[in-house]
Amino acid sequence: MILFENVGFRYDRGAEVLQNVNLEIPAGSFQFITGPSGAGKSSLLRLLYLDEKPTAGRISLFGRDVTTLTRDEIAWFRRRIGVVFQDFRLLDHLTAAENVALPLTVAGVREMAYRDNVTEMLQWVGLGDKMDVRPPELSGGEKQRVAIARAVVASPDIILADEPTGSVDPDMAERIMALFVEMNRLGKTILLASHDVPMIERYKLPITILKDGTIDDGMGHSGRGAAA
Amino acid sequence: MSALGRKGSLIPFTAASGFMMVLLIAAMAFLACFSLAGALGTTRIAGTWTEGLAGAATVRIPAGEEDRARRISLVLDVLRDTDGVADARPLSEKDVADLLTPWFGGTPELGELPAPSIVAVTLDAENEPDPSVVQARLDGASAGAVYDDHGRWRNRAAQAARAIGNLSYWALGLTVLAIMAGVFVVVAIAMSAHKSTIEALRLAGAEDRFIAGLYQKRFFWLGALGGLIGSGIALGAFVGLDTLASVRSALPMLEAPYYWPFVWVGIVVVCGLIAVLAARLAVLTTLRGRA
Ligand SMILES: Nc1ncnc2c1ncn2[C@@H]1O[C@H](COP(=O)(O)OP(=O)(O)OP(=O)(O)O)[C@@H](O)[C@H]1O
Ligand SMILES: [Mg+2]
């Protein structure tokens, strides 16, 4: 489903952010990426949601080399990928419900068809009473929950979450993790980037550790993500 | 669910920029209407002149010559014998006096003036004679008469009218281009203000044409509204302003006012479509350029 082969990446003319990354994420798996701040976790996810192209190596996604995708194909691929951005990226002029519905709206789904779905999703993240509120009037944790609802509402094949529990209290974090586990049980592939090592370790799932842009397998050279 | 029930725009357009866009398109539509009127009017005038004057010619017998009556009958004989001449008829002194009235004011006493004698010639429209041949025949009969089929004047006037008509079409075309350029620039600027929104839409899986559609919808209405206002004022001016009476008389559409509403709706829709086209171009080129 997701395959990185010797992937290298740099922003414009900056230094290399990722080097020689090899990673395989089979369909239906649930994995974590961790590592210190600045290690390149968000950059790696960025490559996966096709916001950037690798500057070296090869990434294949759904069996396609990502560098060969047309703009339309990129759009269609993104519909199969739900993303929780580290900085949420909500639209301030839309209500929470409109934000959650965005992946469905842009895919041309009629409001009639998704209305209940959106409501249910917002209730699930505990924001059933904030559907008409716009992001500037929401707390950080509430925004994060809107972002999570948006990422999963269209039932994508892959869910990428960048620090999805970074702004919520432990109870809500549990609840959000339970949502991801549930989605994974439904067959979704989930890749979650987080600093929160204690939380990650509780789930006994494969963990990839990034350090200075390379995968750290504890042996001083790059390799496949090691299971915790 | 009121949040979803209300159809909020996915892109936060501002009222102020919309107002300016309408103003620009209204001004352009106003100019376009006058260009169109100029083009239609002059083309028609040119047509009328050529048609009205075709099939007619005159033979002028200079004043001061003696034996006027004999010369006229000589001319008539030659003309009636000429291929392509349907009819030839001498104008009475009164007819000539009427023709001269604009130059002399009042009704001149022809006896006191060295007025030429004029023979009105009706030509066979299918088979107009070569002016030089007619002139040669008249000279042959030494009638001392001058043949004039108004060709030169007719052609020159009609050419001038047509030239103005063509320029008006150019002006119309340039106005349309100016509308497109204006919309293009405004859309491009709007897109840089909406950059993060557009990025969020793209990341949510929106295709370029979906984003273009959002702008097209908005700019169709701005274009149509601008067109409605601009052409409304222009059409109102045509009908209402005395100074434009002469333009009015040259415009064929004014003789059939029943289809005016359709012309108006047509202009409005065309303005909307021009704006749509320009907005689409602007969005697609901007998005591709950003990628
Ligand atoms: N848009 C950008 N342009 C240039 N450099 C960038 C950009 N975004 C990130 N970087 C650089 O890339 C490196 C990796 O950043 P990245 O955001 O991927 O790290 P991260 O592991 O997600 O960190 P954190 O845990 O703090 O979120 C950093 O050194 C950062 O300065
Ligand atoms: Mg990050």
H/E run at residue A7:
strand A2-10
From the CA of A40, the nearest ligand is: 1
Residue of A12, A32, A41 with the most ligand 1 atoms within 8 Å of its CB, for mutation: A41
- Rounded mean pLDDT, B162-176: 90
Q: Under an 8 A CB cutoff, do B10 and A94 touch?
A: yes
Domain extents in chain B:
3-45+160-290, 63-144
Q: Under an 8 A CB cutoff, do A132 and B3 touch?
A: yes
Q: Which tokens hold the place of B209?
A: 């044409």
**Nearest Cα to A158, choosing from B9, B44, B205?**
B205
* Reported ipTM: 0.90
- Report the predicted TM-score, pTM, of the whole model to 2 decimal places: 0.80
- Rounded mean pLDDT, B164-180: 92
Q: A11 CB less than 6 Å from ligand 1?
A: yes
B10, B199, B207: residue with CB nearest A75: B207
Q: Does A83 touch chain B (CB under 8 A)?
A: yes
Nearest CA in chain B to A53: B291
- Rounded mean pLDDT, B196-200: 94
- The number of C-alpha atoms within 13 Å of B265 and in the hemisphere containing its C-beta is 5
- The number of C-alpha atoms within 13 Å of B99 and in the hemisphere containing its C-beta is 14
Which residue, by CA, sits nearest to atom 18 of ligand 1?
A40
Q: Does B197 touch chain A (CB under 8 A)?
A: yes
More confident site: B280 or B71: B280
- Rounded mean pLDDT, A138-149: 94
* pLDDT tens digits along B82-119: 888 888 888 877 777 776 666 666 665 655 666 777 88
Q: Which one of A84, A106, A132 makes the best mutation probe of the B interface by having the most chain B beta carbons within 10 Å? A: A106
Which residue, by CA, sits nearest to atom 8 of ligand 1?
A43
Least confident stretch, A39-43, A179-183, B67-71: B67-71
- Rounded mean pLDDT, B242-251: 68
How many residue pairs bridge chain A and chain B with CB atoms within 8 Å of each other?
A: 75
The one-letter code for the residue type at B239 is V
Average model confidence (pLDDT) for chain B? Answer: 82
Q: Does B206 touch chain A (CB under 8 A)?
A: yes
From the CA of A17, the nearest ligand is: 1
CA A17 to chain centre: 19
pLDDT of residue A112: 87
pLDDT of residue B215: 96
Residues of B in contact with A72 (CB under 8 A): 207-208
User: Contact A17/A42 with Cβ under 8 angstroms?
Assistant: no
Which residue, by CA, sits nearest to atom 6 of ligand 1?
A11
* Distance separating alpha carbons of residues A92 and B98, to the nearest angstrom: 81
Which residue, by CA, sits nearest to atom 4 of ligand 1?
A11
DSSP single-letter state for residue A211: E
Share of chain B above pLDDT 90, in %: 37
- Rounded mean pLDDT, A150-179: 91
More confident site: B59 or B246: B59
pLDDT of residue B40: 80
Share of chain B above pLDDT 70, in %: 80
* Distance separating alpha carbons of residues B254 and B232, to the nearest angstrom: 15
Q: What are phi and psi of B180, to 5 degrees?
A: -60, -45
* Distance separating alpha carbons of residues B226 and B215, to the nearest angstrom: 16
**Nearest Cα to A77, choosing from A103, A99, A109, A40?**
A103
User: Contact A22/A54 with Cβ under 8 angstroms?
Assistant: no
Nearest CA in chain A to B291: A71
Which residue, by CA, sits nearest to atom 16 of ligand 1?
A40
A78, A97, A115: residue with CB nearest B205: A78
Q: Under an 8 A CB cutoff, do B1 and A118 touch?
A: yes
- pLDDT-derived band at A194, boundaries 50, 70, 90: very high
- Rounded mean pLDDT, B258-269: 84
Q: Does B1 touch chain A (CB under 8 A)?
A: yes
